[in-house]
Structures are given as C-alpha cells and as structure tokens.
C-alpha cells in the first residue's frame, strides 16, 4: 500500500502543550495562532516577543471525533533530506542515535513514536517514501508537538540509506521478537541506528539481514508475543538514549 503525503506542509496543532513545543524548538514554523478570549493572556505570555500573529476567536464548536482545544495553531512541518542528514551527522563528534522505521502504516503509531523520540532527544527518524504512512493530521495530532523537535527523513530506499549510514560508522540495531536481549547491546557502539518494523510483519527479512545486531524486548512475566510498535519504541529508546548523546537542537 502506498500512502500519499499531505498536499500541504501546513498542519494544525492543538493545545498549549503542543504549541509550547513549537515555540520552544521551531518558532519560525508557526504561521498563526488562534485562541479563545479566555486563553489570550496565556498565549501572549507564551509567544512573548516573537513575531507570530495571534487571532482571537470564539469558542470552537465541539467535534464528533474528539474535543477541540481553545488554543490551536497553524504550523509548517517539512521533511529533512537524507543528504542534509549525512552532512549534519558527519559534523558531530558525539555519540549518535538515529531511528529508522520500516513501513509503519498507522499514522497514530508514527505520531506516538515521534513523541517518544523527541522525549529521549532523538532528532532524526528515517522513513521510506513507499508503503509507509507519512505526515498526516492524525500523526501530527498524536505527536503532541514532537515534530517541532524530531524530524522525518524521507528516503527512496531504506536499505540503501542504512548501508550509507553504516559506511559513516553507524551500527544498525534491528528490533525483532527473536533477537537477543536488547540490554546486552546497549553501550557497545558509538553510533547507532535503531530499526523498527511494521505493526503486522515487523522488519523485513532483507533489512534484518543487513542489520549488525538483532535485539528483542523480553521479561520473565511475558504473556504476549509482541508489543505495539510505538510502545516498543519507547522502551528501546529509553535504553539506548541513556548511552547515546542526543543531538543538539540546531
């Protein structure tokens, strides 16, 4: 299945928390902010001296799908190019952690993974152009402001991108139910690409063979075969991020 990207780079983020992330990390991406009169002072204080237009609107009507926020903003979110990513990574002398996703199809999983990545300081997320969910209103909403920090890097061929990163000194660590315990691998490598697979099939066999190590999440009380990919991402990122220096927000 191929997923068409949004026809626009402009998305709506709702709530003070999500808006605060964009004000903090990427204020230039905010095109306009909308607020009900009740939240005018809070929004004004948050924006401060930034040159961002704020429009006061009446209370938004409730939605059949979910509650709407009294504060929302229109923001631009762009994909990062792989060539630019290589240039950025090549200039860093620190330990590095990059996330790669192999054909995630649920937009809310993508948003939740981005949220975990941003929380643990992982700035770059590689995704393939084909058979992969891209930026959508649902993924942006679920991320709750994470795309203000973490950036999606769109690549034509994920396998080739991973090989290029390996040439740059990265080790590809693949998550799979049949792998060794991930705790054994943490701290062994200076530069790591953490590879996660789709919700139903996991990482493809081709990419698994290209990986340097295959790891799993297991406990003595395990009762199910696997975790949701966004939950697994949070657990693995928590482990690896403790030993990898996060990227600066530049």
Enumerate residues 6+ apart whose C-beta is below 8 A from 221. none
What fold is seen in the domain 82-241? Alpha/beta knot (3.40.1280)
Contact yes or no for 29/148 (Cβ under 8 A): yes
59 or 71, greater pLDDT: 71
Sign for the CA dihedral angle at 25, 27, 32, 35 comes to: positive
Say if CB 14 and CB 69 are below 8 A apart: yes
Q: Does the pLDDT value for residue 112 go beyond 60?
A: yes
Q: Is the pLDDT of residue 67 over 70?
A: no
Q: What is the pLDDT of residue 33?
A: 96
Look at residue 242 and tell me whether its pLDDT is greater than 90: no
Give the whole-angstrom CA distance, residue 195 versus residue 202: 10
H-helix or E-strand spanning residue 238: helix 229-241
Q: Please, which pLDDT band fits residue 248 given cuts at 50, 70 and 90?
A: very low
**Size of the chain, expressed as the number of residues it contains:** 250
Q: Which residues contact 201 (CB under 8 A, 6 or more apart)?
A: 103
Matching fold, domains 10-76 and 82-241? no
Segment (H or E) for 22: helix 16-25
Average pLDDT, the chain: 88
DSSP 87: H
Least confident of 57-66, 95-104, 134-143, 183-192: 57-66
Alpha carbons within 13 A on the beta-carbon side of 99:
33
**Mean pLDDT, range 116-121, rounded to an integer:** 95
pLDDT at 108 over 60: yes
CB atoms within 10 A of CB 64: 4
pLDDT at 138 over 50: yes
What average pLDDT score do residues 82-101 get? Answer: 90
- Label residue 225 by pLDDT band (50, 70, 90): low
**Cα 153 from Cα 100, distance rounded (Å):** 9
| Domain at 10-76: CATH code | 3.30.1330.30
pLDDT-derived band at 247 (thresholds 50, 70, 90) equals very low
The single residue listed with the structure tokens 């060539």 is: 83
Cα separations in angstroms, 205 against 3, 177, 201:
22, 13, 10
Domain residue ranges of the chain, discontinuous segments joined by +: 10-76, 82-241
- Assign 221 a pLDDT band (cuts: 50, 70, 90): low
What are the φ and ψ backbone dihedral angles of 112, each rounded to 5 degrees? -65, -40
The pLDDT-based confidence of 222 (bands split at 50, 70, 90) is: low
């Amino acid at each position: 299945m191929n997923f068409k990207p949004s026809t626009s780079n402009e998305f709506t983020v709702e709530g003070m928390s999500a808006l605060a992330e964009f004000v903090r990390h990427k204020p230039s991406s905010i095109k306009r902010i909308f607020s009900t009169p009740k939240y005018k002072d809070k929004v004004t204080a948050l924006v401060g001296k930034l040159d961002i237009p704020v429009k006061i609107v009446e209370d938004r009507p409730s939605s059949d799908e979910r509650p709407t926020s009294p504060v929302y903003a229109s923001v631009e979110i762009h994909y990062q190019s792989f060539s630019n990513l290589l240039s950025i990574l090549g200039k860093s002398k620190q330990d590095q952690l990059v996330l790669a996703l192999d054909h995630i199809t649920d937009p809310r999983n993508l948003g939740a993974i981005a949220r975990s990545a941003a929380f643990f300081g992982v700035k770059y997320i590689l995704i393939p152009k084909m058979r992969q969910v891209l930026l959508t209103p649902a993924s942006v909403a679920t991320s709750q402001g994470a795309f203000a920090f973490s950036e999606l890097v769109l690549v034509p061929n994920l396998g080739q991108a991973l090989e290029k990163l390996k040439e740059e000194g990265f080790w590809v660590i693949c998550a799979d139910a049949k792998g060794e315990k991930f705790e054994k691998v943490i701290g062994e490598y200076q530069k790591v690409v953490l590879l996660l697979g789709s919700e139903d099939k996991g990482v493809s066999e081709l990419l698994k063979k290209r990986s340097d190590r295959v790891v799993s999440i297991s406990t003595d009380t395990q009762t199910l075969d696997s975790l949701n990919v966004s939950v697994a991402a949070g657990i693995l990122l928590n482990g690896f991020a403790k030993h990898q220096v996060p990227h600066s927000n530049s």
